[in-house]
Amino acid sequence: MDIAVMEECTRASHEERITFGEVVGRLIGAGVERYHADLVRGETTYFMPDGQSHRVTYSALDARPAGSFSAEGVLAAVRAIQAGKTQYLTFCREILEAGCVGYLVSMQGQRAVYYGRSGETYLEPFPGSRQGFRGGDA
Protein backbone atom coordinates (compact mmCIF):
# COMPACT_ATOMS: atom_id res chain seq x y z
CA MET A 1 0.00 0.00 0.00
CA ASP A 2 1.58 3.27 -1.16
CA ILE A 3 0.40 5.70 1.52
CA ALA A 4 2.62 8.49 0.18
CA VAL A 5 0.73 8.50 -3.14
CA MET A 6 -2.64 8.66 -1.36
CA GLU A 7 -1.55 11.51 0.87
CA GLU A 8 0.03 13.42 -2.02
CA CYS A 9 -3.08 13.03 -4.19
CA THR A 10 -5.23 14.43 -1.38
CA ARG A 11 -2.85 17.30 -0.68
CA ALA A 12 -2.35 18.13 -4.38
CA SER A 13 -6.12 18.13 -4.97
CA HIS A 14 -6.71 20.55 -2.10
CA GLU A 15 -3.85 22.75 -3.27
CA GLU A 16 -5.36 22.60 -6.78
CA ARG A 17 -2.12 21.33 -8.35
CA ILE A 18 -3.60 18.20 -9.92
CA THR A 19 -6.59 17.23 -12.04
CA PHE A 20 -9.05 14.40 -11.42
CA GLY A 21 -7.53 12.43 -14.31
CA GLU A 22 -4.07 12.76 -12.81
CA VAL A 23 -5.36 11.65 -9.40
CA VAL A 24 -7.02 8.58 -10.89
CA GLY A 25 -3.90 7.70 -12.88
CA ARG A 26 -1.62 7.94 -9.85
CA LEU A 27 -4.00 5.97 -7.66
CA ILE A 28 -4.37 3.21 -10.25
CA GLY A 29 -0.56 3.07 -10.43
CA ALA A 30 -0.48 2.65 -6.64
CA GLY A 31 -3.01 -0.19 -6.80
CA VAL A 32 -5.92 1.73 -5.22
CA GLU A 33 -9.29 0.18 -6.06
CA ARG A 34 -11.59 2.99 -4.93
CA TYR A 35 -11.79 6.00 -2.65
CA HIS A 36 -14.46 7.79 -0.65
CA ALA A 37 -14.46 11.54 0.05
CA ASP A 38 -16.55 12.73 3.00
CA LEU A 39 -16.97 16.45 2.36
CA VAL A 40 -18.56 17.16 5.74
CA ARG A 41 -15.93 15.40 7.88
CA GLY A 42 -12.98 16.48 5.75
CA GLU A 43 -11.52 13.08 5.04
CA THR A 44 -10.80 10.76 2.16
CA THR A 45 -10.44 7.01 2.60
CA TYR A 46 -8.55 4.96 0.02
CA PHE A 47 -9.28 1.24 -0.38
CA MET A 48 -7.05 -1.51 -1.71
CA PRO A 49 -8.32 -4.74 -3.32
CA ASP A 50 -7.10 -6.81 -0.34
CA GLY A 51 -9.28 -4.87 2.12
CA GLN A 52 -6.60 -2.54 3.49
CA SER A 53 -7.49 1.13 3.69
CA HIS A 54 -5.90 4.44 4.53
CA ARG A 55 -7.68 7.60 5.66
CA VAL A 56 -6.34 11.09 4.99
CA THR A 57 -7.86 14.01 6.89
CA TYR A 58 -7.84 17.65 5.86
CA SER A 59 -9.53 20.89 6.85
CA ALA A 60 -13.18 20.65 5.88
CA LEU A 61 -14.55 23.47 3.77
CA ASP A 62 -16.33 26.29 5.55
CA ALA A 63 -19.48 25.52 3.53
CA ARG A 64 -22.31 23.22 4.63
CA PRO A 65 -24.37 20.98 2.35
CA ALA A 66 -27.78 22.18 1.23
CA GLY A 67 -30.75 20.47 2.85
CA SER A 68 -31.92 18.86 -0.37
CA PHE A 69 -29.97 17.10 -3.11
CA SER A 70 -29.87 18.43 -6.67
CA ALA A 71 -28.50 16.00 -9.26
CA GLU A 72 -28.66 18.90 -11.74
CA GLY A 73 -26.50 21.02 -9.45
CA VAL A 74 -23.93 18.23 -9.12
CA LEU A 75 -23.96 17.74 -12.91
CA ALA A 76 -23.36 21.48 -13.47
CA ALA A 77 -20.38 21.41 -11.08
CA VAL A 78 -18.97 18.28 -12.76
CA ARG A 79 -19.27 19.85 -16.22
CA ALA A 80 -17.65 23.10 -15.04
CA ILE A 81 -14.58 21.35 -13.61
CA GLN A 82 -14.33 19.04 -16.64
CA ALA A 83 -14.31 22.12 -18.89
CA GLY A 84 -11.57 23.74 -16.79
CA LYS A 85 -13.88 26.58 -15.69
CA THR A 86 -13.38 25.81 -11.99
CA GLN A 87 -10.87 24.04 -9.77
CA TYR A 88 -11.26 21.43 -7.05
CA LEU A 89 -12.18 23.57 -4.03
CA THR A 90 -14.78 25.52 -6.00
CA PHE A 91 -16.11 22.20 -7.30
CA CYS A 92 -16.43 20.91 -3.73
CA ARG A 93 -18.30 24.04 -2.63
CA GLU A 94 -20.63 23.77 -5.63
CA ILE A 95 -21.52 20.14 -4.97
CA LEU A 96 -22.05 20.95 -1.28
CA GLU A 97 -24.43 23.71 -2.39
CA ALA A 98 -26.19 21.03 -4.47
CA GLY A 99 -26.71 18.97 -1.31
CA CYS A 100 -23.88 16.49 -1.88
CA VAL A 101 -22.23 15.27 1.33
CA GLY A 102 -19.69 12.92 -0.24
CA TYR A 103 -18.68 10.85 -3.20
CA LEU A 104 -17.21 7.46 -4.05
CA VAL A 105 -14.82 6.98 -6.96
CA SER A 106 -14.35 3.49 -8.40
CA MET A 107 -11.33 2.99 -10.62
CA GLN A 108 -12.52 -0.46 -11.65
CA GLY A 109 -16.06 0.77 -12.36
CA GLN A 110 -14.78 3.96 -13.99
CA ARG A 111 -17.37 6.11 -12.27
CA ALA A 112 -18.01 8.51 -9.44
CA VAL A 113 -21.16 8.35 -7.33
CA TYR A 114 -22.17 11.58 -5.58
CA TYR A 115 -24.70 11.28 -2.75
CA GLY A 116 -26.86 13.42 -0.51
CA ARG A 117 -28.00 13.17 3.09
CA SER A 118 -31.03 11.03 2.27
CA GLY A 119 -29.23 8.63 -0.05
CA GLU A 120 -30.04 10.41 -3.31
CA THR A 121 -27.34 9.81 -5.91
CA TYR A 122 -25.87 11.10 -9.11
CA LEU A 123 -23.62 8.75 -11.08
CA GLU A 124 -20.99 10.20 -13.41
CA PRO A 125 -18.98 7.88 -15.69
CA PHE A 126 -15.33 8.79 -16.15
CA PRO A 127 -14.80 10.91 -19.26
CA GLY A 128 -14.29 8.57 -22.20
CA SER A 129 -15.53 5.47 -20.34
CA ARG A 130 -18.08 3.14 -21.85
CA GLN A 131 -20.54 3.62 -19.00
CA GLY A 132 -23.89 4.71 -20.38
CA PHE A 133 -25.99 5.41 -17.28
CA ARG A 134 -26.03 8.92 -15.83
CA GLY A 135 -27.66 10.20 -12.69
CA GLY A 136 -30.85 9.44 -10.88
CA ASP A 137 -32.03 8.70 -7.38
CA ALA A 138 -31.17 5.40 -5.75
pLDDT in tens, 30-44: 999 999 999 999 999
pLDDT exceeds cutoff 90 at 138: no
pTM of the model: 0.88
- Domain assignment present for residue 95? The answer is no
pLDDT of residue 1: 80
Residue 133 in this model has a pLDDT that exceeds 60 = no
As a whole number, the mean pLDDT across the chain is: 90
The total number of structural domains in the chain stands at: 1
- Look at residue 70 and tell me if it is in a domain: no
User: Per-residue pLDDT for 132 more than 80?
Assistant: no
68 domain-assigned = no
Q: pLDDT-derived band of residue 60, with 50, 70 and 90 as boundaries?
A: confident
Query: Phi and psi (nearest 5°) for 10?
Result: -65, -50
Please report whether residue 21 resides in a domain.
yes
Domain for residue 41, yes or no?
A: yes
Segments forming the whole domain that contains residue 113: 3-62+102-125
Asked if residue 26 is part of any domain, the answer here is yes
For residue 138, being part of any structural domain is answered with no
pLDDT at 112 over 60: yes
- DSSP labels, 52-68: -EEEEE-PPPS----SS
Kindly state whether residue 23 falls inside one of the protein's structural domains. Answer: yes
| Per-residue pLDDT at 137 | 39
Distance CA 137, CA 115 (A): 9
Is residue 37 within a helix (H) or strand (E), and if so which, with residue range? Answer: strand 34-38
Residue 78 predicted with pLDDT over 50: yes
**For residue 130, what pLDDT is reported?**
55
